[in-house]
Amino acid sequence: MKQGFRFSLSVTVVVLAICYIYLTTIFIYIDRWFGLMTSPGIMNAVVFTGVAAMCVFNYTVAVFMDPGKVPSTYMPDIEDSDNPVHEIKRKGGDLRYCQKCTRYKPPRAHHCRVCKRCVLRMDHHCIWINNCVGHANYKVFFIFVVYAVIACIYALVLLVGSLAIDSEEDEQESGSSLRTAYVISGLLLVPLSVALSVLLGWHIYLVLQNKTTIEYHEGVRAMWLAEKGGNVYSHPYDLGAYENLVTVLGPNIFTWVCPTSSHIGSGLRFRTAYDYSAVALPST
C-alpha cells in the first residue's frame, strides 16, 4: 500500500460520480422501467450492483496500492547471461541511472515527477486515481476500466429504456427534479462511456503488445530511428498476443477479471522475445 494519503479533488469527483450514477440507476431508471419489486427489477438491480461493487473495489485498490518502488539495494548485473536486455541511456550508452533517486533504474522503470520517485514498469501517472499506474497495480487499473465501461454502458441503456416508456402523464407527475436527474446522468454517462471505451481500447492494444504508454511513445521514436538506419525495430518484451495477455492478466483465464497479482513477479526483470529466441535455437 502507498505510504500516506492526502485529499485529492479528482478522486473525490470520481467517488461522487460513481455514487450519483449508482443511486439514480437503481432508484430511478430501474424502478421506473421495471419496478424494484418485480423480478426483472430485482435481477437488474443485483447485476448492476455487482458490476458497480467490482468497479468500486478495483478503483479503491488502484488508488491505495503502491505501483511498485525500486529497492534501495537494486544493482544491475551486466554479467547475468540470463538477462539479455540491459536498458541504457539514449545518450552515452550508460546503464540507466536516476539522478533524483540516486539509484539505478531496472528495465521499464521510470521516474515520476508527481510521485517524486522511480516506479517499476511505469505506464503513466493518473490524476483520477491520484497514483501512478505501474507494475503492481496495472492489472487492477485495467480491470477497473473494464468494469467501469460495463457499468456506464449498462446504466446508459437503463436510462434510455426508462425514458422510452415514460408516458406523458408520468412526465407531468415527475416534476423538474426528476428531469434534472436525467439530464445530469446523461451529461455524465455519454462522455464517460465514450472516454472510458477509448481508454479501454487503448490499453487492450498495449496489453496485446506488452507495452506501457511510455514504451509506446519511446517505440515510435525507436522505430523511426531504426527505419532511418535501414533496420527493423521490434519491441523486446512482445512475446506474442496470448503470452502478453498471460504476462499481464495471469495464467488462469478465469482470474483475468479478478484483481489477482501473484503472477507478476518482482518487476526487476521481465521475459523478452530474446528468451524465446534462445530456446528456439538448435543445440550444436
Q: Any idea which residue has 473494464 for its cell?
A: 146
Chain-centroid distance of CA 168 in Å reads 43
Quick: pLDDT tens for 57-68.
999 999 999 999
Residue 146 has pLDDT above 90, yes or no: yes
* 118 given a catalytic annotation: no
CA distance 248 to 253: 11
Kindly name the residue from 98, 101, 112, 126 that is annotated as catalytic. 126
Exposure b/e, 56-75, CB count within 10 A at least 16 = b: bebbebbbebbbbbbeeebe
CA proximity to 121, closest of 240, 271, 282: 271
> Cβ atoms within 10 A of the Cβ of 104, count?
15
Stronger pLDDT, 229 or 261, i.e. the higher one: 261
Residue 224 has pLDDT above 80, yes or no: no
* pLDDT given at position 220: 80
Residue 163 has pLDDT above 50, yes or no: yes
* pLDDT given at position 280: 47
pLDDT band at 235 (very low <50, low <70, confident <90, very high): confident
CA distance 210 to 84: 17
Mean pLDDT calculated for residue range 123-144: 97
CA distance 69 to 84: 23
Percentage of the chain modeled with pLDDT above 70: 83
CA distance 10 to 22: 18
60, 131 Cβ separation under 8 angstroms: no
Quick: pLDDT tens for 94-116.
678 899 999 999 999 999 999 99
What the block records as the C-alpha cell of 50 is 455487482
